[in-house]
Amino acid sequence: MRLHSTRTPDDRKSFRQAMVANLAPDGGLYAPELPRFHDWDALLALPWPDLAVELVQRLIGDEFEAHALQAAVREAFSFPVPLRSIEADRWCLELHAGPTLAFKDFGARLLARLLRLHDGDGAVRTILTATSGDTGAAVAQAFWRVPGMRAVVLYPAGRVSSQQERQFATLGGNVQALAVAGSFDDCQALVKACFADPDLSRRHCLTSANSINIARILAQLCYYPLAVAQLRQQGELRAPLICVPSGNFGNLCAALYAQALGLPLAGLAAACNANTTVPEYLDGQPYRPRPSIATLSNAMDVGAPSNWERIDHLLGGQAGAQAALRWGWVSDAETRAEILRLYRLGHLVDPHAAVASAVLGRVQRPGEVGVFLATAHPAKFPEELEALTGMKLALPPELAQLADRPLLSQPLAMSVAALRAVLDGGPAICH
Ligand SMILES: *Cc1c(COP(=O)(O)O)cnc(C)c1O
């Protein structure tokens, strides 16, 4: 795979170089130059995860040893990805059966394995990530006990759910959880300052696990073909419209890359909550990043989505994006109403999936088949869902087993010097 910076087209990189580069030196993101496949009927007949293995091999197979790459994909995607029929002409692709019960497992688990293949033995790499919840959990679990890797997770103290905190702060070993006295934006600013420090970055081989990392996007583009393949297995041969619940827009970017590879789709829709930077832009207003607003679908509370630059680059700006996409946003009240509507049809979904389902209902055209993505397990939102539906949610074993583990996070002052001291302090690397 060849990639180039969204800002400097002749800054070209291989996949491996882009995976460890974080941002391009000009501040842009690395965007892949994708081939178009012409044998989708054959590809879509492959079982999972063979389909993902084949796609990844075609895209980056020239940069890794074949058997190791195959094994990496199979291990990363070792959980089921069911497609559920919801109502007439509407389906849901459930992406939340991984170890941390959110779709971030796809990207984090493949990234961990590809970095390990890239580094081989003897390297020492620090994965530095800021989280408002799901990313930290997926990254911590994916990198836990991986030789040569240390994962440092920054999160806003007291502002993530205690369940989320347990998913990344009870592991210990090569996973360091830092509770920052500040907001998620403060955590992200600290992380950015470290990446902007060339000496520190070099000293620790600092690597981003946020969705600017192309390896995460590569992992995610594999499940869009899986949705189409499963529809075909069910006898549904129409190319679907797929609706993607979006925050940083990595997931929608992956969907657009799958479409660029030639995957037959009727269209793609961006679904947002009250953080409407992108829907407003698609409505024709200027692109105006802004601070985020807290909502029920909190993993989508992003006011300055980092992957929009890749999408705008791919689609050629505002007019191109308007022509290529459908879009919509819903309030928390509408999200709750959609959770309740689906519950009465016999389906319990989390707030992020409900946003996607509600927007799908608005943008789907007569005669079309639609798919929305369920990105988190409903049991991650027990208070909200129990209050709405009156039912008692069982805690899945992945979460129940964390309940009485001690929290191992350390407090961190809101200062770059304090973070630098932690990074230079304990290596905490597995060998
Ligand atoms: C991260 C996340 C999203 C948003 O995905 P992006 O790729 O950032 O657009 C949606 N739902 C859940 C549950 C998430 O964790």
Report the DSSP pairing between strands 2-5 and 30-33. antiparallel
CA of 292 to the centre of ligand 1 (A): 14
* pLDDT computed for residue 426 by the predictor: 66
- Report the run of H or E that residue 140 belongs to, with start and end: helix 134-143
Report the alpha-carbon distance of residue 376 to residue 98 in Å, rounded.
10
Q: Are 334 and 356 in contact (CB under 8 A)?
A: no
CA of 247 to the centre of ligand 1 (A): 6
pLDDT digits (tens, 9 = 90+) for 102-142: 999 999 999 999 999 999 987 789 999 998 778 999 999 99
CA of 21 to the centre of ligand 1 (A): 23
Report the alpha-carbon distance of residue 163 to residue 400 in Å, rounded.
9
pLDDT digits (tens, 9 = 90+) for 22-41: 889 898 999 999 999 999 99
Report the alpha-carbon distance of residue 377 to residue 381 in Å, rounded.
8
**Amino acid symbol at 205:** C
Instruction: Please state which of the ranges 1-5, 97-101, 401-405 shows the lowest mean pLDDT.
Output: 401-405
**Amino acid symbol at 122:** G
Query: What per-residue string of b and e applies to 227-253 under the rule 16 or more CB within 10 Å gives b?
Result: bbbbbeeeebeebbbbbbbbbbbbbbb
- Kindly state if the Cβ of 292 falls inside 6 Å of ligand 1: no
Phi, psi angle pair for 166, to nearest 5°: -65, -30
| pLDDT above 60 for 260 | yes
* pLDDT computed for residue 430 by the predictor: 41
* pLDDT computed for residue 80 by the predictor: 97
Q: Are 86 and 92 in contact (CB under 8 A)?
A: yes
Q: Are 219 and 253 in contact (CB under 8 A)?
A: no
348 burial via Cβ count (<10 Å: 0-12, 13-18, 19+)? middle
Report the alpha-carbon distance of residue 226 to residue 265 in Å, rounded.
12
pLDDT digits (tens, 9 = 90+) for 300-316: 998 989 899 999 999 99
pLDDT: is 210 or 357 the higher one? 357
Q: Residue 427 — pLDDT band, cuts 50, 70, 90? A: low
CA of 160 to the centre of ligand 1 (A): 15
Apex 428 CA angle, 427 and 431, nearest 5 = 100
pLDDT digits (tens, 9 = 90+) for 323-374: 999 999 999 999 999 999 999 999 999 999 999 999 999 999 999 999 999 9
CA of 250 to the centre of ligand 1 (A): 8
Report the alpha-carbon distance of residue 253 to residue 216 in Å, rounded.
11
Give the pTM: 0.95
**Amino acid symbol at 116:** R
Q: Residue 211 — pLDDT band, cuts 50, 70, 90? A: confident
- Kindly state if the Cβ of 251 falls inside 6 Å of ligand 1: yes
Report the DSSP pairing between strands 125-130 and 206-208. parallel
58 burial via Cβ count (<10 Å: 0-12, 13-18, 19+)? middle
DSSP bridge pairs for 13: 3
* Ligand 1 atom, smallest distance to 102 CA: 13
* pLDDT computed for residue 246 by the predictor: 97
Q: Catalogue all structural domains in the chain, each as residue range(s) with its CATH number.
A: 75-101+217-389 (3.40.50.1100)
Report the DSSP pairing between strands 12-14 and 2-5. antiparallel
To test the pocket of ligand 1, the residue of 210, 278, 339, 375 to mutate (highest count of ligand atoms within 8 Å of its CB) is: 375
Q: Residue 402 — pLDDT band, cuts 50, 70, 90? A: confident
- Kindly state if the Cβ of 105 falls inside 6 Å of ligand 1: no
Task: Indicate the average pLDDT of the chain.
Answer: 94
